[in-house]
Amino acid sequence: MRSEEIEAIKNDINNIIKKDEKLFGTSINFILVNQNNSDIKCIVSDGMETIVGFDKDTNNYYDIPYYDYNFDKHLFGELDKNYHIGYMSDIDHYYIWRTIMELYPENLNYKDGVQKYLQYCVDNGITKEYIDDKTGFDTPDIMDFFDDLTFHGSMQYKGYYIEVGDVNYDNPNENIVTIYGSKEDSLNGDFLENISLNTLGLKQNIKEYIDKNYKDKSEAYKIYSGNLKVLKSGSRRGQLVTLMEKELNDNVEYIISYYSKNNSNDFFWVYGSYYGNDKSKAEQDFKKALSCVNLSKKFKDKEVR
């Protein structure tokens, strides 16, 4: 839902608050939007005993007993059910941060909802310093509880370098993730693939994707076999593919090689493509190999230990 739509909803609710004596002294705590059907959940309160929820379709409200209201049920639980934050007051951020500091993780049921809230804070610049400045209170810093990646963050796993991009606008529950063969490749813009993965638990989702679709090459760059050196590694249909450099007296030869790994962690060269000293062509074909372009005409049966 666009920001102007959220503002329109806020204006409608604020107009109702102004006209209803029962709601005197209340204000909007937060507005949640369902990502699947645009359903709205809005909490309004006076910070004490008057707490109501709004029905967007009828512009009517319903009472919520103060003894039954808590952030775990009415915020984290809803975030856990495909809602996301459209608006939240600064004072509510303060009380939520206090709640998380006091109760997380043992005494909150919807831990994924907590992580989704913390992701929202990271993405929108909601920090301890921001809340302190807006409220004048000393906010407990809870960001140590955030266990995931930030937008435009990065990580390394099993020899690969991964960067987190923007939200996937076709699916706001997911982020665009770019996988590189190495950090050096990221500097050159030489990526293996772009994928879209669930934002919640993104770090673990990336690890599971790498585990399923790529060979572990965390030690591949350290492998030397006589006069052979691994320059780059990637995956082609589950096979480990490497760009090799072979020393030939005063010259070098470049080879795209395909590996399998045995139980003793030795690497076996199954077959390869040979490029003489044409490194540029070898690098171009290495990209094609990772994209599953057929290079079979270049292959020569060869097995090297």
How far is C-alpha 80 from the geometric centre of its chain's CA atoms? Answer: 16
How far is C-alpha 162 from the geometric centre of its chain's CA atoms? Answer: 10
Among left, alpha and beta (phi > 0; psi -120 to 50; other), residue 128 is: alpha
Query: What pLDDT sits at residue 11?
Result: 94
Q: Where are the domains of the chain?
A: 3-145, 154-213, 220-304
Strand segments (E) across the chain: 27-34, 40-45, 51-55, 60-63, 83-88, 154-157, 160-168, 171-180, 191-198, 224-225, 228-236, 239-248, 251-261, 267-274, 299-304
pTM for this entry: 0.56
Q: Per-residue pLDDT for the chain (305 aa), expressed as one digit of tens each?
A: 788 999 999 999 999 999 999 999 999 999 999 877 878 999 999 988 899 999 877 778 999 999 999 999 999 999 988 899 999 999 999 999 999 999 998 999 998 899 889 989 988 899 999 999 999 999 999 988 887 666 677 888 887 889 998 888 888 888 899 999 888 888 888 898 999 998 877 888 898 899 888 877 654 444 445 567 778 877 776 677 888 888 877 888 998 887 655 444 455 666 778 888 999 999 998 888 887 776 654 444 443 33
Query: What pLDDT sits at residue 148?
Result: 67
